[in-house]
Amino acid sequence: MKHEVIAFLGTGLMGEPMARNLLAAGYGVRAWNRSKEKACALAEKGAVVCDTAADAAQGANVLICMLSDGPTCDAVVFNDKTVLAALTPGATVIVMSSIPVETAVEQSRMSAERGFRYLDAPVSGGQQGAIDATLAIMAGGELDTFEAARDLLGAMGRPVRVGPAGTGQQTKLANQLIVANTIAAVAEALLFAERGGADPAKVIEALAGGFADSPILRMHGRRMTDETFAPGGAAKYQLKDTRTALARARSLGLELPVAHVVDALFASMVDHGDGDLDHSALIREIRRENNLPVSRKDS
């Protein structure tokens, strides 16, 4: 057993396999989730499943937050004084949720005021990356804090420190812009190929290894052609991230024209009731834009 005791808050689609990998690496995990049944399976792997976030934090020297958004992280961890008070003095708080940059900077300040170390360390790689412990982990914070947490983070994926507090979230927003824009480009290209008479599944095969190839073309392109849209990353969360990125861009005096168009497409997709589908289902919105049935099967 490693010497770190980890309070893991948020054991949903991503958090549960991340916590499993920490347990497999020998870390002690105290798990909490709003819906307790989502955490109970971890008990079979050796986790202590707790009734409250404060219970999970009791005696922990690392707290990992994998909750849905910034307001939720603030409400559960930083506004409820019982949670931080339950941690071991000098503990490290690692927020792995996708939250606004400004929120991460403020959380870092509040952590330091209470004598805790802080990293913002959002992830990319989806549920499969969480299962396989291959997540890209983008960490912002002090170098010594990152180095102390490197092995722990390494049990869940590939951690890289990108700068001071907040830059992990800045990098995640850059990641989400690339993902969102590429999904839109792949959706347009596959519909373009299909309407021109090509088999879109074969198009993906033909493009393999070329400059247009990418994990999004291979993985999400296949989802588009198979029309399998069970969420690995729900469209409503992709929209949350593009909105957050555009707000951050405005604060930096930047105009991101491509991101504006893609954000509008995701917003329309959510408005049409597809927000709980995988973000690769954006191809349904591209089809709507062209007055086509949302499913190829109905074309």
Q: Which residues are catalytic?
A: 172
Task: List the structure tokens of 34.
Answer: 């709003």
In single-letter form, the type of residue at position 299 comes to S
Short-list 42, 48, 49, CA closest to 24? 42
Residue 202 makes CB contacts below 8 A (sequence gap 6+) with: none
d(CA 116, CA 88): 9
**Residue 30: how many other CB atoms lie within 10 Å:** 25
CB < 8 Å & 24+ apart, contacts of 154-159: 155/21, 155/22, 155/24, 155/25, 155/27, 156/18, 156/21, 156/22, 156/123, 156/130, 157/123, 157/125, 157/129, 157/133, 158/134, 159/121
